[in-house]
Chains A and B, each alone.
Chain A
């Protein structure tokens, strides 16, 4: 066997190809990922639980299949991690909380984990997150803070911060996260990885701990567009175990990566999306637009109200979801999360229903917009990663609360379930910042075509940038 490239130093697709051809064993790739966690995770604290026995056993099964000449999936032998709100059979699903430790171990994998496994991938660890996915910073009172691999003084973003940091650090090439208001895209932007929030209902949430159910999505994070597409293709599709799962036909996205973005109608989103982007975010967006030859800008009415509505709906649904537990175990919550959940539980029904009406109006606005536009471009986050512990951030002269505002550019699209993909660029100061691509429902393929074009242009953070 040859020496083993670990994590993001080699793409998931390339690793799988070598495993399928017998050049590399799955046991070697998985062992290398486990070693990378031991060697490199200490300073970033992205991983909360590892699965050495299970993962090596799975890897042996992959290798046995190779030896038997069986047909293997596109992610054969690829190690991956999952936010610790996904069920992994035999382990307790923590959701960033100590309360969940009292529950029994999961009896089966979450659907998304199972589908990754069916594609040949091997789950090696679960990752840190904001408690119950409530937050954008991954500063967890129980499991500690996940630090940004690009600058250890800065946050990784959240709530899927551990997943983004593990990919950015090159520990694994792929991760799964969840996204309610931006919790895949925000940490992907701040850490410098690709991340996809698919259309609402496109990827099953069965076996994951929900936060605000009418807004919760599941999706992949990766270091390359091809890896992101391979993971998305593996997990997308109808699942009767998730009541919001869609039967809309799935279009595989790996085959479209070779197509260029010509013929797609791409536009910049103005108004709100310019107002809450700082100079780093604007400059990165302008670079991406120039590369794509985009100079058309469209207004997306009601976007500021959409952010407010998303916050109201999230808080009300999360507060209700946790009400019984808050009545009996309030002291066991993260002190930073508990007051927010209680406040959500006290929101008047009139506020929630008004927010839902605004949601319907915003859906009409965005659907009309996509009649003559295929992909919208915005920054993913208002700025690059804030410092650990920082409470406010300056954006266009305004002091914004970090914990509430990192999702200002991602929340509107979550509210109406649109697919959104973040592409990692570098800001003027050397920190990562994402450019967000948004499309009509179930048009993930358009997002992948534009993302691939940006990657080919050389603008994006290269594979293996932090694997040393």
Chain B
């Protein structure tokens, strides 16, 4: 898989377009870096078992 910065940025721009967002060229590196950080957190979370589902009780 191509994980070059250009590819990552183009994926970010496509995703942004899907939700109606415009990202300025000045913001693009920061948005791309931040999304990579969040995807890294998601990797740490992993894939927990699906039960009991997306509910929350304190």
Chain A residues in contact with chain B, CB under 8 A?
199-201, 214, 246, 304-305, 307-309, 311-312, 315, 323, 326-327, 330, 335, 338-340, 342-348, 351, 353-361, 363, 404, 416-418, 441
Contact = CB atoms under 8 A, between A and B. Distances in A.
Interface string B14-58: 011001111110010011011101110110111111111111111
A244 B37 CA distance: 30
A346 B35 contact: yes
A308 to B, nearest CB: 4
Nearest to A309: B45
Contacts of A200: 58
B30 A339 contact: yes
Given A339-B31, A346-B12, A327 B45 contact: no
Nearest to A315: B38
**Ranked 3 nearest A-B pairs via Cβ:** A417-B58, A339-B30, A308-B44
7 contacts: A346-B21, A347-B38, A347-B39, A353-B54, A354-B42, A359-B56, A417-B56
B25 to A, nearest CB: 12
A353 B30 CA distance: 25
Contacts, number: 109
Given A315-B38, A347-B38, A418-B58, A357 B44 contact: no
A361 B51 CA distance: 9
A347 B37 CA distance: 11
Given A340-B34, A361-B49, A201 B58 contact: yes
A342 B31 contact: yes
A339 B34 contact: yes
Interface of B: 12, 15-16, 19-24, 27, 30-31, 33-35, 37-39, 41-42, 44-58
A342 B21 contact: yes
Contact of A308 (B19, B21, B45, B52): B45
A351 B39 contact: yes
A326 B31 CA distance: 13
A416 B55 CA distance: 11
A227 to B, nearest CB: 25
A363 B57 contact: yes
Given A330-B22, A357-B49, A246 B38 contact: no
Given A339-B30, A342-B23, A305 B45 contact: yes
Q: SS class of chain A's interface: helix, strand, loop or mixed?
A: helix
Q: SS class of chain B's interface: helix, strand, loop or mixed?
A: loop
A343 B12 CA distance: 8
B58 A441 contact: yes
B22, B55, B56 interface centre (most CB from chain A within 10 Å): B56
Nearest to A364: B52
Nearest to B36: A343
B23, B41, B44 interface centre (most CB from chain A within 10 Å): B41
B45 A354 contact: yes
Contacts of A246: 58
A191 B9 CA distance: 39
A458 to B, nearest CB: 34
A169 to B, nearest CB: 33
Contacts of B44: 304-305, 308
B45 A339 contact: no
B35 A351 contact: no
Given A346-B15, A347-B38, A312 B58 contact: no
A360 B58 contact: no
Nearest to A419: B58
Nearest to B40: A308
A351 B38 contact: yes
A357 B38 contact: no
B27 A339 contact: yes
Given A338-B27, A416-B58, A418-B58, A343 B34 contact: yes
Contacts of B31: 339, 342-343, 346
A406 B56 CA distance: 25
Nearest to A357: B48
Contact of A311 (B15, B33, B38, B49): B38
A309 to B, nearest CB: 5
Nearest to B43: A308
Contacts of B30: 339
Contact of A342 (B27, B50, B54, B57): B27
B42 A351 contact: yes
A353 B22 CA distance: 26
A360 B16 contact: no
Nearest to B29: A339
Contact of A327 (B20, B33, B42, B46): B20
B27 to A, nearest CB: 5
